[in-house]
Structure 1
Amino acid sequence: MKPCVLLALVTIFAVVPAIGATPWTLASAVAEAQATSPDAAIARERVNAARAMLAQASATNWPQLSLKAGYVQTDNPMHAFGTILGQGAFNSGIDFNHPGRVDNFNATVTLGYNLYTGGRASARKEAAQNIAEAAELEQAVALEQLAAEVACAYFHIRQTREGVGALEAAVAAMEASHRLAELRFDAGQLIRSELLNLKVQLAQIRERLLEARHQAEFADRYFFFLLGGEETDSVVLDQADASATAFAAPETPSIVNRAELQGMRRRVAAAEKNLAAVRRARRPTVNAFAGYQHDQGWRRNGDGRSWVAGIQAEVSLFDGPLTPGRINQAQAEVEQARAGLRRLELSLGLELEQARLAHQLALEQLAVTASLIEQADEAARISRERFEKGVLLTAELIGVETRLTEARMRRAVALANERIAVVEFRRASGLPVIPK
């Protein structure tokens, strides 16, 4: 989902900052979100899980040491006779068929080491290494995605503040015109329907302002949601925030540096290594082992010690369709990963072009709204003077005031959209949202 989708329903409105609250800059908000947001925590844990898998795959390089101990009693002739021999307590007077009850405490230490696996272990380790690197790259993607969402929320809040200012200015201007209209009505210079038109328009603007403040509260809650907090105060933004304007659109946009692309390439490499490991399944496995055993019995006062050491080789000669099936599955996973990589390349290229066009549009809209608001301001000033002199109808005044309000709102939208478009353009080019 694109970073600004969830904020599309938040209109252009603002709230008054809470007194005494710490002002947020864009850089501090991004840093806070990347440190405390649940999304950032999930990305970190995915990396930890991938590293744990790598550690497991590397276990074949280490010797395996185990200790086993236990105590038993038996009168089974076979078990009893073996136990007596292990304890070194055999004598010619023992009846093999009825040796009696024998007890034994056994402690065994075993050491094993893998000498050769036909290359399967090294292939699996390399696959796990690629998966761990992919997870780290995906963590970077998640953090930049989060940074883009925070930036989007940040500029939407700035946009809402300017939008509320425009609505409040419209209310103030309409209230002044309404007071003047009442004076003219009392003097018999204005008919009642004209006065009622102004009252209706003033009520509508006040309704928009009321709705705006409620929606702005949601914008604040969403900002704190991204930061992983549950604050109920209004968001206070640093009005002199240099980090909000310190970044610019990329000069040479390209998807080469996209972490998603590099991560997917690691996934393809991991699938290829896994295929190599499966294809080596019929190669022999060679293990070295050594063990030391202590047997102690109290019923016959036996005490014996022994050791064993050797090398063991094993090779699978036939397992039916098991190995061929695993090879076909691994081959299909490789082809799937390669197709996914190609699809991602096309998708990222399209996303980059979309971001470039969106930024170009935002710049053009910014230029248009600059002249639009200048013209609307001048038209409103002239219309108010004409209305005061009684040479302008209320319907015309309402139209002019409405156009001025819309121009101010569009200007606020254009300013925020230009910054958001730069954020998306940088992310689409594989650049950090906030320059390091």
Structure 2
Amino acid sequence: MISLLRPALLPALLLAGASASAAPWTASDAVAAALRENPDAALARQRIVAAEAMIEQANAAWLPQLSVGARYTDTNSPMMAFGSILNQRAFNFGLDFNHPGRIDNLNVAGTVGYNLYSGGRATAGRAAARAGARAAEEDLRAARAQLATEAIKALLNLHKAREAVGAVEAGVRAYAAAVANARLRFDAGQVLKADLLSLEVQLAQTREQLTTVRHGAALAERAFLFVLGRAPSSSEPVEVATEDTSLAQLAVPAAGAERPELAGLRQRLAAAEKMVAVARGARRPTVNAFASYQYDQGWKLDRHADSWLAGVSVDLNVFDGGQTSGKIRQAEAELAQVKEMLRKAELGFALEAEQARLAYDSARERLAVSAQTVAQAEESAALSRARFEKGALLTADLIGVEGRLLEARLRRTVAAADERIALVELHRALGLPPLVQP
């Protein structure tokens, strides 16, 4: 089992006053929280809802359209009054057409329409909407993969920052011990004042470095909470797990899969092709069937009657000033854009996958070298401290040895986190989730 945190540095990794009841964060916990609470995941889910609504609108073309309306009028306009009289079946030959008087009318009507043929626009529109919904689903997959990667990277960066704090704290303790020993030897007349001052200056500089890395750790914690979609809380500091099984078992993938971004672009390409068909359908006739029923009631004449109407209409756009041609050209241009976007994405993702492989190989090699370097630096530092205590080593030499040990520990800290980060990026570049997503 791989641990990114050394047990000796554990006290430096937990913030002061941490709640004992708060469960330490693991990579799988961070991924689950990010997918659940990050706004990007919520936005992607809402895009799917919007795409499904587009499908619902497109399906309406295969359903009858029903409208019901009512209105009441009171008028002495000859034209309107005469129409109301006829609808109420109240006409008589003694009627003065020029002065029919005040005529009121309550009209209640219902109309049913059904599209029999739309030049293929309804079918193409529904297909485009379905492709758009599938593209939105792929966008959600891509967003989830990106969020999972970012959550793990943020957690590893927090590991890195806190281990850097531990490494610098170890350097401070080493220099403090060296200063204490040098003061005793200075009082005994065995060390020059300049050597003691050099050690004290180095201790002060290391403490200054400790302040910087602690600030970096605080920022890393804020960045981690940001990826999770949470606001920072002073009462609940972030605790990290010393052993992370889910992250330790992450292995190098043998093969990749199709990136969800590519799958989404292919669905958008299908949708763009259907939108060209929609635009071209405007040149074909539209056939609609319709039927209506109305009821008219008048209280001035105390008459009422009902009537109905049914028929079929055919409409053909003969000339619209070039509007249809312009829409077709626009749809074809958008289709060409999506094709080029897909080709660019294929090339870019292939390059990204190769870069991720090379980056992981480099990170793994750096980790192996840094681990060996730390072991050598620790052995050298132990021997140098013993020689300094016996007065067989100059102060400048001890400062150099301690500095190299601190630098080696920091490099190993960075290399350990970077190796896992590179592996997570490799999974994403190959279209694979870094961890099993809930």
CA distance in 1, matches of 2:227, 2:305: 67
2:381 aligned partner? 380
**What does 1:96-111 align with in structure 2 at a 5 Å threshold?**
96-111=97-112
Report the AA paired with residue 45 of structure 1.
Answer: Q
1:316 aligned partner? 317
In structure 2, the residue corresponding to 1:100 is in which secondary structure? coil
2:65 aligned partner? 64
TM-score by length of 2: 0.94
Q: Following TM superposition, by how much is the alpha carbon of 1:238 offset from its aligned partner in structure 2, in angstroms?
A: 2.1
194-203 vs 230-239, which deviates more? 230-239
**What does 1:318-337 align with in structure 2 at a 5 Å threshold?**
318-337=319-338
CA distance in 2, matches of 1:22, 1:297: 77
In structure 1, the residue corresponding to 2:237 is in which secondary structure? coil
1:145 aligned partner? 146
Post-superposition Cα deviations, 1:355-377, rounded to whole Å, max 9, x if no partner, equal 01100001100110111000000
Post-superposition Cα deviations, 1:11-69, rounded to whole Å, max 9, x if no partner, equal xx955261322221111111111111111111111111122122112210111111111
2:247 aligned partner? 244
Post-superposition Cα deviations, 1:149-192, rounded to whole Å, max 9, x if no partner, equal 11000111112222222111111111111100000000000000
Alignment of 1:435 onto 2:436:
yes
In structure 2, the residue corresponding to 1:166 is in which secondary structure? helix
Q: Please give the root-mean-square deviation of Cα atoms over the aligned residues, in Å.
A: 1.3
CA distance in 2, matches of 1:311, 1:428: 57
190-199 vs 330-339, which deviates more? 330-339
355-364 vs 321-330, which deviates more? 321-330
In structure 1, the residue corresponding to 2:95 is in which secondary structure? coil
2:303 aligned partner? 302
Report the AA paired with residue 124 of structure 2.
Answer: A
Q: Following TM superposition, by how much is the alpha carbon of 1:435 offset from its aligned partner in structure 2, in angstroms?
A: 2.7
In structure 2, the residue corresponding to 1:169 is in which secondary structure? helix
State whether residues 247 and 435 of structure 1, in contact with CA within 8 Å, keep that contact through their aligned partners in structure 2.
Answer: no
State whether residues 14 and 157 of structure 1, in contact with CA within 8 Å, keep that contact through their aligned partners in structure 2.
Answer: no
State whether residues 138 and 263 of structure 2, in contact with CA within 8 Å, keep that contact through their aligned partners in structure 1.
Answer: yes
1:3 aligned partner? none
91-100 vs 381-390, which deviates more? 91-100
Q: Following TM superposition, by how much is the alpha carbon of 1:306 offset from its aligned partner in structure 2, in angstroms?
A: 0.8
Q: Where in structure 2 are there 5+ consecutive unaligned residues?
A: 1-11
Report the AA paired with residue 247 of structure 1.
Answer: L
In structure 2, the residue corresponding to 1:190 is in which secondary structure? coil
In structure 2, the residue corresponding to 1:16 is in which secondary structure? coil
1:46 aligned partner? 47
Alignment of 1:267 onto 2:234:
no
**What does 1:149-188 align with in structure 2 at a 5 Å threshold?**
149-188=150-189
CA distance in 2, matches of 1:377, 1:23: 30
Report the AA paired with residue 244 of structure 2.
Answer: D
Give every structure 1 segment of 4 or more consecutive aligned residues whose post-TM-superposition deviation is greater than 4 Å. none
Alignment of 1:127 onto 2:128:
yes
CA distance in 2, matches of 1:295, 1:183: 114
State whether residues 15 and 217 of structure 1, in contact with CA within 8 Å, keep that contact through their aligned partners in structure 2.
Answer: no
Report the AA paired with residue 171 of structure 2.
Answer: A
TM-score by length of 1: 0.94
Alignment of 1:209 onto 2:210:
yes
State whether residues 170 and 401 of structure 1, in contact with CA within 8 Å, keep that contact through their aligned partners in structure 2.
Answer: yes
Report the AA paired with residue 16 of structure 1.
Answer: L
2:15 aligned partner? 16
1:89 aligned partner? 90
Report the AA paired with residue 97 of structure 1.
Answer: N
CA distance in 2, matches of 1:410, 1:163: 9
In structure 2, the residue corresponding to 1:290 is in which secondary structure? strand
1:136 aligned partner? 137
**What does 1:228-243 align with in structure 2 at a 5 Å threshold?**
228-232=229-233, 233-243=236-246
State whether residues 14 and 163 of structure 1, in contact with CA within 8 Å, keep that contact through their aligned partners in structure 2.
Answer: no
Report the AA paired with residue 362 of structure 2.
Answer: L
Q: Where in structure 1 are there 5+ consecutive unaligned residues?
A: 1-12
State whether residues 14 and 239 of structure 2, in contact with CA within 8 Å, keep that contact through their aligned partners in structure 1.
Answer: no
1:223 aligned partner? 224
State whether residues 136 and 264 of structure 2, in contact with CA within 8 Å, keep that contact through their aligned partners in structure 1.
Answer: yes
- Give the aligned length: 422
State whether residues 14 and 159 of structure 1, in contact with CA within 8 Å, keep that contact through their aligned partners in structure 2.
Answer: no
In structure 1, the residue corresponding to 2:71 is in which secondary structure? strand
Q: Taking every aligned residue pair, what percent have the same amino acid on both sides?
A: 52
320-329 vs 330-339, which deviates more? 320-329
Report the AA paired with residue 239 of structure 2.
Answer: V
Post-superposition Cα deviations, 1:303-336, rounded to whole Å, max 9, x if no partner, equal 1111111111111122232222222111111111
**What does 1:20-35 align with in structure 2 at a 5 Å threshold?**
20=20, 21-35=22-36
CA distance in 1, matches of 2:381, 2:46: 58
Report the AA paired with residue 270 of structure 1.
Answer: A
Report the AA paired with residue 89 of structure 1.
Answer: A
State whether residues 103 and 297 of structure 1, in contact with CA within 8 Å, keep that contact through their aligned partners in structure 2.
Answer: yes
